[in-house]
């Protein structure tokens, strides 16, 4: 039973496997090749860029940069800005390393300060605090995930975008946990930059992601090299998106995420969300009946994704995950989920973090009920899990 869809979705819809396989066999030729195949690759890449841009309501597909991952996109967005000593950054208390580590790097290297927005279980972002900070005028960047990969909380991203716009700060959205899970519209969010991963809610293979950058923002490059365009010049062109897409494109990752988006558009995000909400609601209700269980994040399924983090008295998250894997073939993820900031925020660091379950389209209510049964049997007394290293 696979309950780690927040890390990467699995299985993928059948059409994704087929699209990637077909592309790999018939079109693995870079767009730069002078041949029929090269032209078809270039046309396919342009089609995919349009489909993906439409999915996020990005009006000009040139403002969509393909990257190897959400991590790379977020690094490009944060490290690529023109930082000055005294600039400030505001971020949620739930950020992933992919946001918080590059922020710490610019703080270290450029004399920039950063502040975390206070969190409460039913109010993951204190909007009054955000407004007060923005009013001070020193905040250059407001960075926030749309949904936490630890608690599943959905953050008030649109309200953050309105505040950032009102006070003239740049707004960076991490949509790694929301793309394909919730509607994501860059205009509606008033996002200046938005990063996503191809292999999570968009059902593509690993190795693909993207970054939207609003017109008027010129980022520094993270890597330089050949783009297949302006080949006779020694320097990079500065043009979007090729300035940031150096080296041979990962056409397979792009084709895979596009097939995932086509499937999402046909299936309907709302239908998928409805299914995942049913599973999450059943799981949360079942957890209520188990003694010594603490669940993190809001209990309201309307304000959360299908990511559920918990702890159990008497057994560490790591041992729980190992016992579930070894005895019941259950996949979960334990520890800090690359987000120690989020764990500090919810009080599980210092400590052992949480065990996290995240449901996807192929999970069923029966599986969730089985999982609840396994958790009820979890050996919790000292010594009962001595076999676990």
Ligand X SMILES: Cc1ncc(COP(=O)(O)O)c(C=O)c1O
Comparison of 41 and 354: residue with beta carbon closer to ligand X: 354
Give min distance, CB of 43 to ligand X, in A: 27
260 binds ligand X (CB under 6 A): no
Cβ neighbour number for residue 339 with a 10 Å cutoff: 25
197 binds ligand X (CB under 6 A): yes
How far apart are alpha carbons 246 and 275 in whole angstroms? 39
96 binds ligand X (CB under 6 A): yes
71 binds ligand X (CB under 6 A): yes
| Identified binder of ligand X from the candidate list 201, 205, 209, 335, rule CB under 6 A | 209
Work out whether the CA dihedral 6, 348, 320, 98 comes out positive or negative.
Answer: positive
| Identified binder of ligand X from the candidate list 31, 87, 153, 174, rule CB under 6 A | 174
CB neighbour list of residue 265: distance below 8 Å, 6 or more residues apart: 55
Which range in 26-34, 172-180, 252-260, 291-299 contacts ligand X by CB under 6 A? 172-180
98 binds ligand X (CB under 6 A): yes
306 binds ligand X (CB under 6 A): no
177 binds ligand X (CB under 6 A): yes
Tokens of 198: 């191809």
Which range in 63-71, 79-87, 273-281, 353-361 contacts ligand X by CB under 6 A? 63-71
Cα→Cα distances 198→67, 205, 355, Å: 9, 7, 24
Task: Report the DSSP beta bridge partners of residue 358.
Answer: 4, 307
Give min distance, CB of 175 to ligand X, in A: 8
- How wide is the angle at C-alpha 258 spanned by C-alphas 257 and 262, nearest 5°? 115
79 binds ligand X (CB under 6 A): no
- How wide is the angle at C-alpha 11 spanned by C-alphas 8 and 15, nearest 5°? 115
Give min distance, CB of 101 to ligand X, in A: 11
Give min distance, CB of 202 to ligand X, in A: 10
How far apart are alpha carbons 72 and 261 in whole angstroms? 21
75 binds ligand X (CB under 6 A): no
How far apart are alpha carbons 374 and 356 in whole angstroms? 15
Give min distance, CB of 287 to ligand X, in A: 22
176 binds ligand X (CB under 6 A): yes
Given its phi and psi angles, is residue 99 left (phi above 0), alpha (psi -120 to 50 degrees) or beta?
alpha
| Identified binder of ligand X from the candidate list 70, 134, 139, 173, rule CB under 6 A | 70
202 binds ligand X (CB under 6 A): no
Comparison of 96 and 343: residue with beta carbon closer to ligand X: 96
Comparison of 346 and 385: residue with beta carbon closer to ligand X: 346
69 binds ligand X (CB under 6 A): yes
- Helix or strand run (H / E) with residue 318: helix 317-328
Half-sphere exposure of 319 (CA within 13 A, CB side): 19
Cβ neighbour number for residue 44 with a 10 Å cutoff: 17
Give min distance, CB of 110 to ligand X, in A: 22
Tokens of 166: 């009102």
Comparison of 315 and 339: residue with beta carbon closer to ligand X: 339
Comparison of 205 and 385: residue with beta carbon closer to ligand X: 205
Tokens of 244: 């940031």
CB neighbour list of residue 334: distance below 8 Å, 6 or more residues apart: 316, 317, 318, 320, 321, 352, 353, 354, 355, 356
- Helix or strand run (H / E) with residue 44: helix 36-55
Number of residues that bind ligand X (CB under 6 A): 13
Residues that bind ligand X (CB under 6 A): 7, 69-71, 96, 98, 145, 149, 174, 176-177, 197, 209
């Amino acid at each position: 039973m696979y309950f780690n869809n927040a890390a990467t979705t699995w299985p993928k819809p059948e059409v994704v496997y087929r699209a990637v396989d077909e592309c790999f066999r018939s079109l693995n030729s870079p767009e730069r090749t002078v041949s029929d195949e090269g032209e078809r690759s270039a046309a396919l890449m342009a089609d995919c860029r349009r489909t993906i841009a439409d999915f996020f309501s990005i009006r000009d597909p040139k403002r969509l940069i393909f990257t190897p991952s959400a991590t790379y996109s977020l690094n490009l967005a944060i490290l690529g800005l023109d930082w000055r000593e005294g600039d400030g950054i505001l971020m949620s208390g739930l950020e992933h390393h992919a946001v918080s580590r590059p922020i710490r790097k610019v703080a270290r290297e450029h004399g920039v300060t950063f502040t975390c927005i206070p969190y409460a279980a039913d109010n993951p972002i204190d909007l009054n605090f955000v407004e007060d900070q923005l009013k001070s005028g020193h905040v250059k960047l407001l960075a926030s995930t749309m949904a936490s990969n630890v608690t599943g909380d959905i953050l008030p991203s649109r309200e953050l975008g309105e505040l950032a716009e009102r006070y003239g700060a740049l707004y960076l959205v991490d949509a790694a946990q929301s793309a394909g899970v919730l509607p994501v519209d860059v205009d509606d969010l008033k996002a200046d930059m938005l990063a996503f991963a191809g292999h999570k809610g968009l059902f593509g293979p690993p190795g693909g992601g993207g970054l939207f950058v609003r017109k008027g923002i010129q980022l520094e490059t993270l890597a330089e090299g050949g783009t297949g365009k302006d080949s006779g010049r020694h320097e990079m062109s500065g043009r979007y998106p090729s300035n940031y897409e150096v080296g041979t494109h990962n056409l397979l990752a792009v084709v895979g995420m596009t097939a995932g988006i086509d499937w999402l558009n046909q299936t309907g995000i709302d239908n998928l969300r409805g299914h995942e909400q049913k599973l999450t609601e059943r799981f949360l209700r079942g957890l209520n009946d188990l003694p010594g269980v603490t669940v993190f994040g809001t209990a309201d399924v309307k304000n959360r994704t299908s990511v559920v983090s918990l702890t159990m008295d008497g057994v560490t998250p790591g041992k729980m995950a190992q016992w579930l894997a070894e005895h019941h073939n259950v996949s979960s993820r334990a520890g800090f989920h690359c987000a120690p900031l989020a764990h500090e925020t919810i009080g599980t660091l210092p400590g052992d973090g949480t065990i996290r379950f995240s449901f996807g389209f192929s999970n069923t209510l029966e599986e969730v009920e089985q999982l609840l049964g396994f958790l009820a049997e979890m050996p919790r007394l000292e010594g009962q899990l001595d076999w676990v290293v």
